[in-house]
Amino acid sequence: MKIASMKMPAIIIAFALFMVPGASYVLSSDTILQSREPISPLQPAPALDARKVRLGEDLFNDPILSGKNQLSCSACHNLNVGGTSRMRRTVGYSGRLHRYNAPTIFNVANNYRFGWRGNFTSLEKQNEAVLLDPDLMASDWQTLLQKLLHSRYAALFQNAYAEQPSRDNVLDALVTYQKTLATPNSRFDRYLRGDVSALAPQEIQGYALFKALGCVSCHQGSNIGGNLFQVFGIFSRPQPNKDPSYDGDLGRFTITQAADDKGVFRVPSLRNVALTAPYFHNGRSATLAEAVDVMAKSQLGEDIQQADIDAIVSFLNTLTGEYQGKILKAEK
């Protein structure tokens, strides 16, 4: 098997060099404990002011935040379907398709940048941009604050912040709630903590392949991604959108206008990835198996066998965590 020409930890390279195609690879608990794993278990959500969390949750689910009282944040980030939506690209306020697929809101606070292009450096900035964007929530601060002041929210803000609604405390309430949307204690987290029985042999083999092929070079850390930028199409660029008016495939270039940023995106988190189809910035892939195949060809230069795709998919299915003490499930 060809090993992708990208920087990998020495332990991964050494493991890969001794792999036999078609063989089964199982990591013992001793291996886990003695090696420096590139992925770490996800920590539970921090303990935050319950009044602010509840206020933020109410706002997140209330269309009062939108300009015409028609859309809520949860319309595109539905906790019942993996914190996203099942649309390839959601429909904007004016009826036009959004530029990008809606990323999951779960574990969002663990990302170091926000948005597919990583153009926001804080959750507060990202939330404000969504509220004010005419194709998203289409609101403005003067109108929004007046609506909140003359609604049931006036008393809730007074209770949580001892003041009337303001730009700063609206954003703080939303972000405080979003920080609680952590999904720890996946089966893979338990495996990383030393419970080898948490994963089946095929799932362990999938993780070994995930590391050996180089997937882990971009998808690592506690969020298994979300912490760096990468071009989509290192070895081969996926087929672009045929609509000449669509510029979403350009990635960060639409912000920086730098040639090197064409096709560059923030690497998404793979937490709960089994629940967040369709995949990629434009929702191009409907299934995890298809997404793995696309990534192998475009990012790693690999044409991998179906058995390997199946093993990696089985591993990715172990990344589904718990929210409020219950394993996440997507409604049908």
Q: pLDDT, tens digit, for every residue of 267-296?
A: 999 999 999 999 999 999 999 999 999 999
Considering Cα of 293, then 298, then 300, then 301, what sign does the dihedral take?
A: positive
Using CA atoms, how far apart are residues 296 and 53, in angstroms rounded to an integer?
A: 40
- Look at residue 307 and tell me whether its pLDDT is greater than 50: yes
What pLDDT, on a 0 to 100 scale, did the predictor assign at position 35? 55
What counts of helices (H) and strands (E) characterise the chain?
12, 4
Using CA atoms, how far apart are residues 184 and 195, in angstroms rounded to an integer?
A: 15
Mean per-residue pLDDT, 20-34: 43
CATH class of 50-178: mainly alpha
E strands in 47-114: none
- Judge whether 10-43+183-237+247-325 and 50-178 match in fold: yes
Q: What is the pLDDT of residues 53-80, one digit of tens each?
A: 999 999 999 999 999 898 999 999 999 9
N-term to C-term CA, the chain: 38
Percent of the chain whose predicted confidence (pLDDT) is above 90:
78
Using CA atoms, how far apart are residues 97 and 290, in angstroms rounded to an integer?
A: 23
Closest CA to 181 of 137, 136, 132, 123: 123
Return the domain boundaries, the chain: 10-43+183-237+247-325, 50-178
Using CA atoms, how far apart are residues 288 and 280, in angstroms rounded to an integer?
A: 11
CATH topology of domain 10-43+183-237+247-325: Cytochrome Bc1 Complex; Chain D, domain 2 (1.10.760)
What pLDDT, on a 0 to 100 scale, did the predictor assign at position 24? 41
The pTM assigned to this predicted structure is 0.87
Q: Is the Cβ–Cβ distance between 199 and 318 less than 8 Å?
A: yes
* Residue 211, phi then psi, degrees to nearest 5: -80, -45
Q: What is the pLDDT of residues 191-232, one digit of tens each?
A: 999 999 999 999 999 999 999 999 999 999 999 999 999 999
Q: What is the pLDDT of residues 99-152, one digit of tens each?
A: 899 999 999 999 989 999 999 999 999 999 999 999 899 999 999 999 999 999
Using CA atoms, how far apart are residues 49 and 266, in angstroms rounded to an integer?
A: 30
Using CA atoms, how far apart are residues 283 and 87, in angstroms rounded to an integer?
A: 8
Percent of the chain whose predicted confidence (pLDDT) is above 70:
89
Average pLDDT over the chain reads: 89
Give 236's pLDDT tier (boundaries 50, 70, 90).
confident
Using CA atoms, how far apart are residues 146 and 141, in angstroms rounded to an integer?
A: 8
